[in-house]
């Protein structure tokens, strides 16, 4: 049952990811990715990470992709127009490489994870999904990371400010 | 001060020019005259400081003298280890003599960037002296490469019309050889470490190593190639005509006078003692290339119509003879080879200087632009003639003694035919050098532009006359020089022989 | 039982999404779409992390993903700012046409 | 002997003269230069005779005077030491004397030559330098020191031939002289190497002692050694095939031709052979070769001399021819006779050249025989001395040449093997010699003057400084031969032979010279040679002096090919040009343009170019398109995955 | 489970004091900019002070690990920290006159530089993959912005875009690699990678290769190098001076750490061969293409690609001695390359235009000091003895030869020869070509002068007295954590 849900959600995510890639219209792309991310959120729930699934919906689908959409609108970028300059090398080599890569990667992943079910040693799934435990870890073992990310966010903030600020600002 | 002069004489000699260069850096760029005079003064001071090396050199003592040894990179056993034997003594003095001579000549002829020129020259002198006294492989390599940089600038900035090509070629050629040597040096030290558990790059240590045949051959060739390019030996000689031709006169003097010798010197000092077996196994190749150099250089010199190129190819030919002497490896041929290095430095230095005298006045080196100018510039002619005679080995001047001892020494070695083939240089050198003299100084007066040529100036004359005096001195009293060479050569042969016995016993 | 999802399913899904992301990044010309593809690649990594975390019974996977989402947000803000800044010069974000700097 | 002048002073005197004149001569003027130059020559002559007179009157014992060590390296130790023995004494005697006379002559000659102060100083400086080198050559006690002199005289020859450096042919001739000599020197050098390898020394005393003591041990090596040495001699003494420089060397001032290219330097080869007689006698096949070369050269050069129109050229070929005689003598083992001819030849040939110089001055530097004629009246002293020398060279008794030449012919007649043939060729050459010598005498001094008016007006006898040496040498041409009268004139008639004999002492185990030939044979030979010489002389006189050259002109017209060939000196110079000079230049150019420029530099430049080209192409991989960058990145990853993981 | 919710010891605080100093300095600059813009001339000083304080704490931190084994304060990190700090100092020194000339003297530049530096610092000191990743991203984000800092200049914005897109692409691989390693080892700490048999796990191999390409990208190792020339060209030069040195060193250190944790018994052959291939490709491509460059910064970018090829030899050789050699190499590279960029920064008048090498013609006369130092840096990069570059190559090739990597060493020196071609070409233009620009350049600013002098002194000091740096590097490398014997 769970597997079915997971697989269905994963397939959906892949499907819309594919749409995102294939679509020439960036807006459609973004929207496809939103759907894909929602499906991914379902997957996250199925792998015992409801908190992350929430973040996924709120931060990713809700904030980040909206930001994308916003920028798309701002820049008024239209559909990708064929520019009359086919780039066969990029396309052919790229596709070929992706296939080889996918083959190798999926082969490896299948082999390495096929026999292992999630939560084999009978840990409590509820315990796994509890945000409080996450919070504890975040402020103990991962305290430094947490602080470091704050610097990262600060840098990103300042950076975005530098780049997007009006020209006449000092 | 006395102690300084006594215990650190070599260090002083090596680094006085560098100190001078550092001092020059403090000068404003506009102080050209001061820079010129200071550079000359420094080089003369260095000459003065180097003279005690000659007088205090113990004639009978084997091994190195004026030794100094300081740890440099102690973890790897790299040391500032210097010392001289007869061979390096002579080359050191040749360097300290030729540098002031070259600078003296430059006094009147270098106009742009005098300060930079002086700095380059002084650093070059330190580089040359350093490689001559270094007894540690890394130290040697450092000095060896450091020389390239100032020479590159000297050719590239103050050179002739094709200076860029020439300086680049010079640099790349020389570098190509020495990079392999660099790897070989590392390899040797690593082997030494593997064998003894200690790190050392000191010559006295690493000469105790023995290698298996194949390895030794490879290492030998790595070293030999570096030195062969510097000499230069056919077929890696083609940088030389370009570099010599395009370099400013003073640069050519130093290039021909000292730099080329470093190739042979390196071979004697490092390649032979380190790889005696390979060196003797491939002696045939050394000799063959030497013989080819003699004949080929002479022939091609004959075909040139640029004065400097003639002299440049004559260097190929003369150094070929030196290489033959080295390859023959008899005491006599080796002594002759060392002596001939000095001789070639003096005679070719003088030739380049005098070509420079003409070039600075007429701004052409084409043979056809001259002709019959002996009447206009008699003193230059006379000096050029003497230098020519020295170069073609006229008895009574220095060249002959070297040539004769090399050839006789080679004749006495198992390679008699080398001597026969190399002795043709006697005929060939006469052909191309006398053709040069005839076409430049003799023949009917061809070009009215030469009517206003002025004869040699006092500063140029002093520079040239110094060399002529030395030529005569060595020609008449070669023993003064040979006495100093002998112990060094004998030590070298003994060490090689000892190594061979050790090899055989193994 | 929730444990009935085999890890391989999770990993395969993640791998496939990653590959799709790579394909998008390589084949799209619009900078924003390329960036979207890269976001997808990061999400694929997230899925793998969560899957591994669940399989190993540790919270670390979730912690990592937490940070990654933060990083992704930061990256998005900077990236989009860059697009905007560039768009002012070029009037396009088609990377085929952005080649002032080359050779 | 204690108070005697050391031998080293002899070369030192002219060396000092050279240094003074070279450094100061230009500034101090001609009279100073002549004083120093001639003074040095005079002084050295006096000094030489101060040693020679006691030597001649004494025991003739060899004296070796070491001065200093010159080169010491490994097993080689070369002393500067000088040797006075009969051979060097003989050379010393005439070299200094003749040189002095020619120095004197040169004062007048060079004044007449309108030399500049610088040129004048240069000339005398070179002459002194030559004297220094020649004396070193003669007095040296070792091969190497001899070589110093040997090269030194070569240098002076080069400098003096090229004295008129602004004339291309003179400059070229100087170079040619030096280069051809160097070819010989190459042989000399190898010979020395061989000697050192075999004997471990280059000192005469040691080498000759060892060779004489153990002939059998050294004999095999000596063939090659002697051959090499002989090549050296060939170069210096202008033997076929290395003779080509000597005719050209006439481009130098005439005193130079007289001194260097007739009297002294060119005989150095003969001197060397005589010096090394011990070695050569142990190499009989080389001796034969020497004889054949000498003999051939004598004839060959003689024939060329017949058809030359240039006075000095004729004399030059005659010199070559006479040198051939000398080698013939050496080749047949008559070293003493050869040296005897060296001496007499020095006298009469110097006289001839100086006479020619006198004529040349009178003719305003014109040397073409066709422009001369009838000078006998206007230049009596020149004529008579020239005549005396001509008779001497032609072998007319009792002039000097007769005795020496006759001795050579006699020696070759006696020689085993090819002896008779050599004798016959020598005899024919003697006839030729007489013919061409009298031809030039006739053309120059007899008949009508054929030059221009100005020349005719200008013709005059030379000044005293020039005629004095002429007279002295003319007299010597008469009497010098009397030192070596043949055995038929009495037991002790031959002074010079016994004097030199110790030098040519027989080697133990080797047969000494054969029995003296019967007097009758000797008389007969003399008669034949005199007859041949006289007929040559007469023929020339009739053809050129009486008939004004009609017959030879007719002959020349009848056989144009033959005449042309001879007149063009058998076109040997042209042959050498085609065989050696041009191929040499071609090879030089080809090596440069093909090997250096095309192959070596071409290869290197191509390598550098290819690397740069690769860079030029590869830089376009950097398309500026960021998608391509991502693709290369990704392709790199995939390749790594395939390589690293694909194998696991 | 501890009583307090937040675990935080004094040692922890001390150990991150260097980063805090950087953070504070950056914030201070921003605050000054916001509230006292008149004091903008002091930005650089504040930044330098921040770096100085940070280095002070760095040097004085007790050796060991903190944050439960997630943070490294060993001599190795001190060494690397000093190296990074030096790069930061040079970049800041150059920035001041550069920004002044460009009229963009803004506090954000310094703040971002400092925070980017902070990120690099985290990369080198983190013993936890996720911390390393955060550091990497901090660095990246800061430098994406710095690349596009000159918004008025199209090239700068384009550089920002290219760096961003490729950088994010690379980061995604890094992240996936981390995920795979996490899955295989069960944790994100490096010490958890030390586990027998882990090296044979295909997932680990994938993870390592992903990390390799991710960090190889930061090192601009071919074929992950393509961004570098474009980005260097468009980015403000002082930032390039930092970016072309510090993150590369950090990336190599991370790779060293991860690989030596996983492969306790030495690199497997395939990995070694793959790395060697990268090294060779990088050297060769970098050098050959550099020959064809006309722009000074692009040329230096390719030179940097080649230099990374050389230094990757150390990774191939593997082991602590090789790491020591790499550290020395990086020190040499720091003074030479940062010096070269400092010289480029000082020698060009118009900051916002391209930097064609040809424009440097005659610089030897116009700006003798900068040109001389530039030439010295180039000779050092070329590895001429008596310069730092030679010492770097010396130890590197020694390490290679010691372990028998003869072919690699040979290819290395052959490449050196090629590289001389373009280094000398620049020197030739500096000194031997007649100037196109006759106008005298502005007088060299004090800060530029100082930066150049420091680099020159560094080059000569390392070049002539290498024993100190070698000793320290060896000592530092000995503390490489988790490495096998």
Q: What is the pLDDT of residues D42-70, one digit of tens each?
A: 999 999 999 898 888 888 888 898 999 99
Residue of B431, B439, B450, B478 to mutate for D, most D C-beta atoms under 10 A: B431
pLDDT tens, position by position, D172-187: 999 999 999 999 999 9
Domain encompassing residue C13: 7-90
C1 pLDDT above the threshold of 50: no
Q: How far away is chain A from the Cα of D605, in angstroms, using its nearest Cα?
A: 34
In sequence order, what are the residues at sequence separation of 6 or more whose Cβ sits closer than 8 angstroms to the Cβ of residue D595?
B235, B296, B300
Pick from E162, E206, E227: CB nearest D645: E206
Contact criterion met (CB < 8 Å) for A112 and E131: no
Residue D292 confidence (pLDDT) above 80: yes
Residue numbers of E between 221 and 250 with CB closer than 8 Å to C = 229-231, 233-234
Q: Is residue C95 part of a domain?
A: no
The closest CB to that of C75, out of E141, E148, E151, belongs to E141
Are chains E and A in touch, 3+ Cβ pairs below 8 Å? Answer: yes
Distance CA E188, CA E171 (A): 17
Whether the predicted pLDDT of B225 surpasses 80 = yes
Contact: A17, C21; criterion CB under 8 Å:
yes
- Using the beta-carbon criterion (under 8 Å), do B395 and D151 form an inter-chain contact? yes
Length of chain D: 648
CATH level 3 topology of A1-78: 1.20.120
Closest-CA residue to A71 (of E166, C77, C37): C77
Q: Is C4 on the interface with D (CB under 8 A)?
A: no
pLDDT at E156 over 70: yes
Residue of A29, A97, A109 with shortest CB distance to C33? A29
Has residue E289 got a pLDDT over 50?
yes
Q: How far apart are CA E63 and CA E152, in angstroms?
A: 46
Q: Would you call A104 and D646 a contact, using CB atoms and an 8 Å cutoff?
A: yes
Considering only the beta carbons, identify the residue of A37, A46, A83 that sits closest to C5. Answer: A46
Percent of chain A at pLDDT above 90? 31
Q: What gap in Å lies between CA B349 and CA B345, rounded to an integer?
A: 5
The beta-carbon neighbor of C42 closest among E145, E172, E182 is E172
Mean pLDDT of D131-143: 93
C51: in domain: yes
Residue of E nearest to D612 (CA): E291
Is the Cβ of C86 closer than 8 Å to some Cβ of chain D? no
Exposed / middle / buried, residue D27 (Cβ in 10 Å: 0-12, 13-18, 19+): exposed
CB atoms A26 and C32 under 8 Å: yes
Q: What's the confidence (pLDDT) of residue B504?
A: 67
pLDDT band at A170 (very low <50, low <70, confident <90, very high): very low
Classify B85 as helix, strand or coil. coil
Nearest to E337 by CA among E169, E87, E123: E87
Instruction: Look at residue C29 in the predicted model and tell me its pLDDT.
Output: 86
Q: How far is A137 from chain D (nearest CA, A)?
A: 34
Confidence band of E1 (pLDDT split at 50, 70, 90): very low
Among D225-234, D397-406, D553-562, E432-441, name the one with the lowest average pLDDT: E432-441
Q: Report the half-sphere exposure of B68 (CA within 13 A, side-chain side).
A: 19
Q: Does E162 touch chain C (CB under 8 A)?
A: yes
The pLDDT tens digits of the residues spanning B11-39 come to: 999 999 999 999 988 888 777 888 888 99
Beta strands in E303-401 (DSSP E): none
Residues 7-46 of C with CB under 8 A from E: 11, 14, 18, 21, 25, 31, 34-35, 38, 41-42, 44-46
> How would you write B127-141 as a 3-class SS string?
HHHHHHHECEHHHHH
C80 CA to chain A: closest CA distance, Å?
Answer: 7
Please report the pLDDT score of residue E484 as a whole number: 66
Partner D, chain C 15-44, Cβ-Cβ below 8 Å: 22, 25-26, 29, 34
* Predicted pLDDT of residue A114: 60
C-beta separation of E370 from E346 below 8 A: yes
Band (pLDDT 50/70/90 cuts) for residue A169 is very low
Q: What is the pLDDT of residue E4?
A: 56
Q: Give D641→chain A minimum CA distance, Å.
A: 8
Q: Can you say how many angstroms the Cα of residue E143 is from the centroid of all Cα atoms in its chain?
A: 13
Binary contact (E151, A163; C-beta < 8 A): yes
In a domain, C59, yes or no: yes
- Mean pLDDT calculated for residue range C38-52: 93
Q: Quick one: average pLDDT of B241-267?
A: 91
Give SS3 for C73.
Answer: helix
Domain boundaries, chain A: 1-78, 130-170
Q: How far apart are CA A83 and CA D480, in angstroms?
A: 113
* CB-neighbour burial class of residue D2 (10 A; exposed 0-12, middle 13-18, buried 19+): exposed
Using the Cβ of A155 and the Cβ atoms of chain E, whether some distance falls under 8 Å is answered with yes
pLDDT given at position B505: 61
Look up residue E191 and give its DSSP letter: G
The rounded distance, in Å, linking the Cα atoms of B14 and B130 is 6
Judge contact between E47 and E89, C-beta under 8 A.
no
Band (pLDDT 50/70/90 cuts) for residue E248 is: very high
Query: Is the pLDDT assigned to residue E2 strictly greater than 50?
Result: no
Among chain E, residues having any CB pair with chain D shorter than 8 Å are: 161-162, 165-166, 169-170, 173, 200, 202, 205-206, 209-210, 212-213, 217, 222-224, 226-227, 229-230, 270-271, 273-274, 277-278, 285, 288-293, 418, 421
Quote the pLDDT of residue B360. 87
Looking at the complex, report in whole angstroms how far the Cα of residue B248 sits from the nearest Cα belonging to chain E: 14
* E136-163 average pLDDT score: 92
Mark yes or no for CB contact A101/D631 under 8 Å.
no
What is the rounded average pLDDT of the residues A21-44? 91
Please give the residue of chain D at the shortest CA–CA distance from A105.
Answer: D641
Distance of alpha carbon E332 from alpha carbon E248, whole angstroms: 13
Q: What is the CATH number of the domain that holds C24?
A: 1.10.287.3510
pLDDT of residue E328: 95
Q: Do chains D and A touch (3 or more CB pairs under 8 A)?
A: yes
Distance CA D357, CA D327 (A): 27
**How far is residue D544's CA from residue D541's CA, in Å, rounded to a whole number?**
5
- Res. D313: pLDDT tops 70: yes
pLDDT band at E439 (very low <50, low <70, confident <90, very high): low
The residue of chain A nearest to residue E150, with distances taken between CA atoms, is A163
Set of chain A residues whose Cβ sits within 8 Å of the Cβ of E137: 152
Q: Tell me whether D609 touches chain C (CB under 8 Å).
A: no
What's the pLDDT at C3?
55
For chain C, the helix, strand and coil percentages under 3-state DSSP, each to the nearest 5: 80, 5, 15
D626 contacts on C by Cβ (under 8 Å): 95, 98
E406 vs E317: CA distance, rounded Å = 11
H/E stretch holding A14 reads helix A2-22
Tens digit of each residue's pLDDT (9 = 90 or more) over C55-76: 888 888 899 999 999 999 999 9
Q: Do D641 and A101 touch (CB under 8 A)?
A: yes
| Residue C102 domain flag | no
The predicted model gives D417-436 an average pLDDT of 89
Kindly provide the ipTM of the predicted complex, given to two decimals: 0.93
The answer to whether E397 and E364 have CB atoms below 8 angstroms apart is no
Contact D634 C99 (CB under 8 A): no
Whether residue A166 is predicted with pLDDT greater than 70 in this model: the reply is: no
Residues from chain A contacting residue E203 (CB–CB below 8 Å)? 108-109, 112
Q: How far is CA D116 from CA D25, D111, E120, in A?
A: 11, 9, 86
Q: Is residue C12 part of a domain?
A: yes
Contacting chains of B (3 CB pairs or more, <8 Å) are D, E
Query: Does chain C touch chain B (at least 3 C-beta pairs within 8 Å)?
Result: no
Query: Could you give the CA distance from residue B188 to residue B209 in angstroms, rounded to a whole number?
Result: 8
| Averaged pLDDT for residues E286-308 | 93
What was the pLDDT predicted at D545? 82
Q: Which residue of C has its CA nearest to E151?
A: C85
State the average pLDDT for chain D: 88
Q: What is the pLDDT of residue E342?
A: 93
The residue of chain E with its CA nearest to that of B77 is E467
| Percent of chain D whose pLDDT exceeds 90 | 41
User: Does residue E441 surpass a pLDDT of 50?
Assistant: yes
State whether B331 and D600 contact (CB < 8 Å): no
What is the count of residue pairs from A and D with beta carbons less than 8 Å apart?
26
Q: Considering its fold, how many domains does chain C have in total?
A: 1
| Contact state of A144 with E6 under an 8 Å Cβ cutoff | no
The shortest CB-CB distance from E68 to any of A141, A160, A167 is to: A141
Contacts of C15 in chain D (CB under 8 A): none
């Amino acid at each position: 049952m769970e597997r079915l849900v997971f697989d269905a959600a994963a397939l959906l995510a892949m499907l819309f990811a594919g749409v995102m890639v294939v679509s020439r219209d960036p807006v459609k792309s973004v929207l496809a990715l939103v759907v894909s991310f929602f499906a991914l959120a379902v997957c996250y729930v199925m792998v015992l990470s409801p908190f992350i699934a929430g973040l996924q919906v709120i931060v990713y689908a809700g904030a980040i992709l909206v930001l994308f959409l916003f920028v798309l609108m701002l820049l008024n970028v239209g559909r990708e127009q064929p520019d009359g300059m086919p780039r066969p090398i990029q396309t052919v080599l790229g596709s070929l490489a992706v296939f080889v890569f996918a083959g190798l990667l999926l082969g490896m992943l299948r082999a390495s994870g096929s026999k292992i079910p999630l939560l084999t040693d009978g840990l409590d799934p509820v315990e796994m999904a509890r945000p409080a435990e996450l919070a504890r870890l975040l402020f103990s073992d991962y305290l430094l990371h947490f602080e470091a990310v704050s610097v990262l966010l600060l840098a990103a903030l300042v950076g975005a400010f530098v780049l997007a600020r009006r020209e006449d600002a000092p | 001060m006395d102690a300084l002069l006594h215990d650190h004489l070599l260090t002083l000699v090596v680094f006085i020019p560098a100190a001078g260069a550092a001092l020059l850096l403090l000068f404003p760029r506009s102080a050209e005259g001061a820079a010129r005079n200071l550079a000359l003064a420094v080089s003369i001071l260095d000459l003065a400081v180097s003279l005690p090396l000659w007088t205090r050199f113990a004639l009978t003592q084997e091994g190195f003298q004026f030794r100094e040894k300081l740890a440099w990179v102690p973890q790897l056993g790299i040391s500032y280890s210097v010392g001289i034997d007869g061979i390096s003594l002579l080359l050191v003095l040749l360097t300290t003599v030729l540098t002031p001579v070259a600078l003296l000549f430059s006094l009147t002829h270098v106009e742009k960037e005098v300060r930079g020129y002086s700095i380059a020259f002084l650093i070059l002198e330190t580089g040359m002296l350093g490689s001559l006294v270094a007894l540690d492989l890394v130290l040697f390599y450092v000095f060896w490469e450091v020389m390239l940089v100032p020479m590159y600038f000297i050719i590239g900035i103050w050179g002739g019309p094709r200076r860029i090509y020439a300086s680049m070629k010079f640099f790349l050629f020389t570098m190509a050889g020495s990079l392999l040597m660099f790897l070989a040096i590392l390899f040797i030290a690593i082997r030494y470490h593997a064998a003894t558990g200690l790190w050392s790059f000191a010559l006295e240590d690493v000469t105790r190593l023995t290698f298996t045949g194949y390895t030794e051959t490879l290492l030998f060739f790595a070293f030999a190639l570096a030195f062969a390019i510097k000499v230069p030996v056919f077929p890696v000689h083609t940088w030389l005509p370009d570099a010599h031709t395009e370099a400013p006169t003073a640069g050519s003097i130093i290039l021909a006078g000292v730099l080329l010798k470093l190739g042979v010197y390196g071979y004697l000092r490092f390649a032979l003692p380190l790889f005696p077996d390979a060196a003797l196994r491939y002696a045939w190749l050394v000799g063959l290339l030497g013989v080819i150099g003699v004949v080929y250089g002479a022939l091609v010199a004959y075909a040139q119509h640029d004065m400097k190129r003639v002299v440049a190819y004559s260097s190929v030919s003369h150094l070929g003879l030196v290489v033959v002497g080295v390859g023959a490896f008899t005491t006599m041929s080796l002594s002759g080879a060392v002596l001939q290095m000095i001789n070639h430095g003096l005679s070719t230095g003088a030739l380049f200087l005098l070509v420079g005298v003409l070039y600075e006045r007429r701004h052409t080196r084409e043979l056809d632009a001259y002709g019959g100018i002996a009447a206009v510039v008699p003193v230059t002619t006379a000096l050029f003639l003497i230098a020519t005679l020295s170069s073609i080995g006229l008895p009574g001047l220095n060249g002959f003694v070297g040539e004769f001892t090399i050839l006789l020494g080679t004749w006495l070695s198992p390679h008699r035919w080398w001597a026969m083939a190399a002795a043709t240089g006697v005929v060939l050198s006469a052909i191309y050098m006398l053709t040069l003299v005839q076409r430049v100084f003799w023949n009917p007066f061809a070009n009215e532009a030469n009517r206003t040529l002025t004869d040699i100036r006092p500063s140029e004359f002093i520079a040239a006359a110094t060399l002529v005096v030395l030529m005569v001195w060595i020609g008449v009293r070669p023993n003064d020089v040979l006495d100093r060479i002998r112990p060094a050569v004998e030590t070298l042969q003994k060490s090689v022989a000892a190594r061979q016995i050790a090899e055989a016993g193994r | 039982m929730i444990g009935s999802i085999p890890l391989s399913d999770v990993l395969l899904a993640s791998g496939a999404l990653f590959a799709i992301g790579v394909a998008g990044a390589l084949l799209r010309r619009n900078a924003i779409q390329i960036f979207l593809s890269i976001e997808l690649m990061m999400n694929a990594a997230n899925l793998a992390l969560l899957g591994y975390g669940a399989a190993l019974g540790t919270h670390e996977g979730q912690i990592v993903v937490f940070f990654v989402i933060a990083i992704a947000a930061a990256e998005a803000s900077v990236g989009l700012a860059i697009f905007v800044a560039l768009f002012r010069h070029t009037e396009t974000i088609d990377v085929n046409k952005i080649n002032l700097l080359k050779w | 002997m204690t108070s005697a002048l050391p031998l080293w002073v002899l070369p030192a005197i002219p060396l000092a003269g050279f240094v003074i004149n070279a450094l100061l001569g230009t500034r101090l003027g001609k009279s100073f230069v002549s004083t120093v130059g001639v003074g040095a020559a005079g002084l050295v002559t006096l000094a030489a005779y101060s040693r020679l007179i006691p030597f001649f009157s004494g025991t003739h014992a060899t004296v070796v005077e070491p001065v200093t060590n010159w080169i010491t390296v490994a097993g080689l130790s070369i002393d500067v030491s000088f040797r006075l023995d009969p051979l060097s004494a003989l050379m010393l005697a005439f070299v200094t004397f003749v040189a002095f006379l020619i120095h004197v002559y040169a004062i007048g000659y060079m004044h007449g030559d309108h030399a500049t102060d610088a040129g004048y100083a240069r000339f005398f400086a070179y002459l002194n330098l030559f004297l220094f080198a020649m004396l070193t050559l003669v007095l040296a006690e070792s091969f190497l020191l001899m070589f110093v002199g040997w090269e030194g005289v070569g240098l002076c020859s080069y400098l003096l031939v090229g004295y008129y450096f602004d004339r291309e042919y003179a400059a070229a001739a100087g170079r040619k002289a030096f280069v051809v000599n160097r070819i010989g020197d190459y042989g000399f050098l190898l010979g020395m190497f061989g000697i050192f390898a075999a004997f471990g020394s280059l000192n005469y005393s040691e080498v000759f002692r060892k060779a004489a003591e153990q002939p059998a041990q050294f004999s095999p090596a000596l063939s090659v050694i002697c051959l090499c040495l002989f090549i050296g001699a060939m170069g210096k003494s202008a033997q076929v095939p290395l003779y080509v420089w000597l005719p050209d060397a006439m481009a130098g001032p005439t005193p130079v031709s007289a001194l260097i290219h007739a009297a002294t330097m060119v005989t150095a080869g003969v001197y060397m052979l005589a010096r090394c007689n011990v070695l050569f006698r142990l190499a009989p096949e080389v001796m034969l070769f020497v004889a054949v070369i000498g003999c051939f050269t004598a004839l060959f050069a003689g024939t060329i001399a017949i058809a030359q129109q240039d006075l000095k050229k004729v004399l030059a070929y005659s010199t070559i021819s006479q040198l051939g005689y000398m080698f013939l003598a050496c080749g047949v083992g008559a070293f003493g006779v050869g040296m005897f001819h060296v001496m007499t030849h020095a006298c009469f040939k110097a006289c001839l050249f100086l006479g020619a110089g006198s004529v040349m001055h009178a003719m305003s530097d014109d040397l073409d025989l066709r422009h001369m004629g009838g000078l006998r009246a206007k230049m009596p002293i020149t004529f008579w001395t020239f005549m005396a020398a001509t008779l001497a060279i032609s072998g007319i008794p009792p002039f000097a040449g007769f005795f020496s030449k006759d001795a050579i012919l006699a020696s070759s007649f006696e020689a085993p093997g090819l002896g008779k043939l050599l004798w016959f060729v020598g005899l024919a050459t003697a006839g030729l010699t007489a013919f061409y010598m009298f031809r030039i005498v006739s053309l120059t001094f007899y008949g009508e003057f054929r030059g221009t008016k100005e020349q005719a007006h200008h013709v005059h006898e030379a000044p005293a400084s020039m005629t004095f040496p002429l007279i002295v040498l003319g007299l010597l041409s008469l009497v010098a031969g009397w030192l070596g009268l043949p055995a038929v004139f009495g037991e002790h008639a031959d002074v010079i032979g016994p004097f030199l004999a110790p030098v040519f002492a027989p080697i133990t185990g080797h047969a000494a010279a054969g029995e003296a030939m019967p007097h009758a044979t000797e008389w007969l030979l003399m008669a034949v040679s005199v007859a041949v010489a006289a007929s040559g002389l007469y023929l020339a006189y009739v053809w050129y002096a009486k008939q004004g050259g009609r017959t030879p002109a007719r002959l020349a017209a009848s056989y144009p090919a033959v005449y042309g060939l001879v007149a063009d000196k058998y076109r040997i110079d042209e042959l050498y040009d085609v065989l050696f000079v041009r191929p040499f230049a071609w090879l030089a150019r080809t090596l440069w343009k093909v090997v250096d420029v095309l192959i070596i530099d071409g290869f290197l430049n191509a390598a550098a170019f290819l690397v740069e080209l690769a860079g030029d192409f590869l830089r376009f991989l950097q398309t500026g398109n960021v998608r391509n960058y991502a693709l290369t990145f990704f392709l790199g990853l995939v390749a790594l995955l395939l390589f690293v993981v694909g194998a696991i | 489970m501890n009583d307090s919710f937040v675990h935080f010891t004094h040692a922890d605080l001390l150990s991150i004091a260097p980063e805090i100093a950087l953070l504070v300095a950056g914030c201070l600059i921003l605050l000054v900019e916001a509230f006292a813009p008149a004091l903008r001339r002091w930005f650089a000083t504040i930044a330098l002070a921040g770096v100085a304080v940070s280095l002070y704490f760095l040097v004085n931190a007790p050796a060991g690990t903190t944050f439960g084994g997630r943070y490294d304060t060993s001599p190795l990190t001190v060494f690397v920290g000093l190296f990074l700090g030096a790069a930061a100092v040079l970049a800041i020194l150059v920035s001041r006159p550069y920004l002044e000339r460009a009229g963009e003297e803004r506090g954000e530049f310094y703040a971002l530089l400092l925070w980017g530096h902070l990120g690099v610092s985290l990369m080198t000191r983190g013993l936890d993959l996720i911390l390393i990743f955060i550091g990497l991203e901090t660095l990246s984000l800061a430098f994406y912005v710095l690349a596009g800092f000159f918004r008025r200049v199209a090239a700068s914005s384009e550089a920002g875009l290219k760096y961003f897109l490729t950088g994010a692409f690379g980061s995604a691989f890094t992240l996936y690699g981390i995920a795979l390693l996490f899955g295989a080892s069960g944790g994100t700490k490096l010490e958890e990678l030390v586990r027998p048999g882990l090296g044979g796990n295909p997932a680990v191999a994938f993870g390592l290769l992903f990390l390799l390409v991710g960090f190889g990208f930061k090192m601009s190792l071919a074929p992950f190098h393509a961004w570098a020339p474009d980005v260097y060209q468009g980015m403000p030069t002082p930032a390039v001076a930092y970016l072309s040195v510090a993150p590369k060193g950090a990336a190599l250190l991370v790779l060293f750490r991860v690989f030596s944790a996983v492969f306790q018994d030495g690199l497997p052959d395939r990995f070694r061969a793959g790395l060697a291939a990268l090294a060779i490709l990088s050297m060769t491509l970098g050098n050959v293409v550099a020959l064809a460059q006309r722009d000074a910064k692009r040329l230096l970018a390719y030179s940097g690609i080649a230099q990374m090829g050389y230094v990757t030899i150390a990774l191939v050789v593997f082991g602590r001695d090789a790491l020591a050699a790499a550290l020395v190499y990086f020190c040499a590279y720091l003074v030479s390359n940062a010096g070269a960029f400092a010289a480029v920064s000082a020698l060009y008048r118009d900051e916002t235009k391209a930097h064609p090498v040809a424009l440097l013609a005659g610089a030897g006369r116009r700006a003798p000091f900068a040109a001389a130092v530039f030439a010295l840096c180039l000779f050092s990069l070329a590895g001429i003895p008596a310069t730092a570059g030679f010492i770097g190559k010396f130890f590197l090739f020694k390490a290679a030869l010691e372990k028998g990597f003869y072919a690699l060493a040979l290819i290395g020196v052959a490449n050196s020869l090629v590289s001389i071609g373009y280094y000398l070409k620049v020197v030739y233009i500096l000194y031997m070509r007649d100037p196109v620009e006759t106008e005298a350049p502005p007088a060299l600013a004090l800060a530029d002068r100082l930066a150049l002098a420091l680099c020159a002194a560094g080059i000569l000091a390392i070049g002539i007295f290498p024993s100190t740096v070698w000793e320290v590097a060896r000592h530092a490398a000995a503390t490489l954590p988790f490495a096998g014997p």
